[in-house]
Amino acid sequence: MFSLLSSLAGNKRLLIDFVKRDLKARYVGSSMGFFWSVIFPIVNLFVFMFVFRLLLNARWGDDAGPKETALIMLAGILVWAGFAETLSRSTNCLIENANLIQKVVFPSEILPVYLTTSSVVNMLIGLPIVVLGCWLFGITGPGMSIVMVPVLLVLQMLFTIGLGYFLTTLNLFLRDTYHLVGVGVQVWMFATPIFYPAEMVRNARIMLPDWLSFLSNMPLRVDKLTGEEVPLIAGEGGDLGLGWMLDINPMHWLIDAWREVLIFGRWPDVSSLTLLAVVSIAIFAIGATFFRSQQAKFPDLL
């Protein structure tokens, strides 16, 4: 993993070239250019607002007005889009660049890194809109905690690159990975509180069918929100809470932290941020190690 990091540092120039090329490629030939970075999430926002707010009548707590809800959703979409897009592109990056890897001595470790960097830059073009919106609509907006932005960026990139390394290597062995990632990202998106508040998930209860009732005899855990001891998965009689879905979802912690910083001007929750840091570094270490261990074989595997 450390040889990989030093090789990345050595190929800094190439990495920058690739990021530039990618950012340019997004908009070369289009007259609107970089505005697309902004237009796309805004259109997305209107679609989801239409569905969730108007049709399903979802509300962001009692005190959030429609404008605030829109901004909260927008922040979530921007962060999620940066992550999801990179994930599917990273998974395919070795196959897409097969001609480079098979014909030139090429540092393939820069591929997931440049894809992630490019999409993070893209995200950073969109996020100021959220801030502008806060000021425009008289919502709190960022405060001192804005200093956390670099930390969030680094953690997000570590997490994304780590997953990218892992999935793209796996994809060389099992080409189904790419399709699985496509489906997985979709499911993951709706499991993450982007268009609905996290409380809705915490409050949701479903009844388990009889054949799954063994799940109710699980040990207890401490609920993060209330601090009470609750059943690990399901309560007495098969009453299943969904809060655990949030407690195992690093993307929820990340998006939540971004919202705290950018919209509410609060400091992100320390415990979930620490957890995010641990998970991100672990994922990066695992992904990078797996990638590195197979890298010599890439030209033969393609």
Partner 1 sequence: MTKEASKNTELMAIHARDLGKVYRIQDKPIHRLLDALKIGGPRGREFWALKGVYLDIPKGSTVGIIGENGAGKSTLLKLISGVSKPTTGDVQVQGRVTSLIELGAGFHPEFSGRENIGLACSILGMSPEEIDELTPHIIEFSELGDFIDRPVKTYSSGMYVRLGFAVATCVNPDVLLVDEALSVGDEHFRGKCLNRLNDFRDSGGTTVFVSHDIGSVKTMCQHVILIDSGEVIEQGAPERVADEYLKRVKARGNERQMSMLHRGSAEYPRWGSGEMEVEEVLLLGGEGQPGLAFETGEHFIVRLRYRAHKDCNQPVFGLGLYRSDGTYVNGSNHQWRHEPIDLGEVKAGETGEVDMAMGALPLLEGQYYLTTFLYDHSKAAPTAIDHREHVVTFQVLDPSHHQHGILRLPTAWAVRRNIPGEEEVRGHESGS
Smallest separation (angstroms) from partner 1 to the CB of 62: 49
- Closest-CA residue to 224 (of 238, 205, 245): 245
> Are 144 and 76 in contact, with CB atoms under 8 Å apart?
no
What is the three-class DSSP state of 221?
strand
> Are 59 and 136 in contact, with CB atoms under 8 Å apart?
no
Which residue in the set 2, 9, 103, 210 belongs to the binding site for partner 1 (CB under 8 A)?
Answer: 103
What are 240's strand-pairing partners?
206, 234
* Contact flags string 268-297 toward partner 1, x per CB under 8 A: -------------------------xx-xx
CA distances to 175, 176, 294, 300 from 95, rounded to whole Å, are: 10, 13, 14, 12
Which residue in the set 6, 9, 29, 222 belongs to the binding site for partner 1 (CB under 8 A)?
Answer: 29
Q: Applying CB under 8 A, does 222 fall inside the site for partner 1?
A: no
Q: Applying CB under 8 A, does 300 fall inside the site for partner 1?
A: yes
| C-alpha to C-alpha distance for 145 and 266, rounded to whole angstroms | 6
Q: Applying CB under 8 A, does 104 fall inside the site for partner 1?
A: yes
Strands annotated E in the chain: 205-207, 220-222, 229-231, 234-235, 239-241
What is the three-class DSSP state of 302?
coil
Tally of CB atoms within 10 A around 129: 19
Q: Applying CB under 8 A, does 81 fall inside the site for partner 1?
A: no
> Are 108 and 298 in contact, with CB atoms under 8 Å apart?
yes
Which residue in the set 3, 12, 35, 102 belongs to the binding site for partner 1 (CB under 8 A)?
Answer: 102
> Are 170 and 177 in contact, with CB atoms under 8 Å apart?
yes
Q: Applying CB under 8 A, does 28 fall inside the site for partner 1?
A: yes
Which residue in the set 12, 175, 179, 205 belongs to the binding site for partner 1 (CB under 8 A)?
Answer: 175
Q: Applying CB under 8 A, does 9 fall inside the site for partner 1?
A: no
Smallest separation (angstroms) from partner 1 to the CB of 78: 25
Can you read off the two tokens belonging to residue 153? Answer: 């960026």
| C-alpha to C-alpha distance for 113 and 105, rounded to whole angstroms | 18
Q: Applying CB under 8 A, does 173 fall inside the site for partner 1?
A: yes
Q: Applying CB under 8 A, does 181 fall inside the site for partner 1?
A: no
Smallest separation (angstroms) from partner 1 to the CB of 297: 7
Q: Applying CB under 8 A, does 170 fall inside the site for partner 1?
A: yes
Smallest separation (angstroms) from partner 1 to the CB of 294: 6
Which residue in the set 8, 95, 100, 242 belongs to the binding site for partner 1 (CB under 8 A)?
Answer: 100
> Where along the sequence are the contacts to partner 1 (CB under 8 A)?
13-14, 17, 21, 24-25, 28-29, 97, 99-106, 170, 173-175, 293-294, 296-297, 299-301
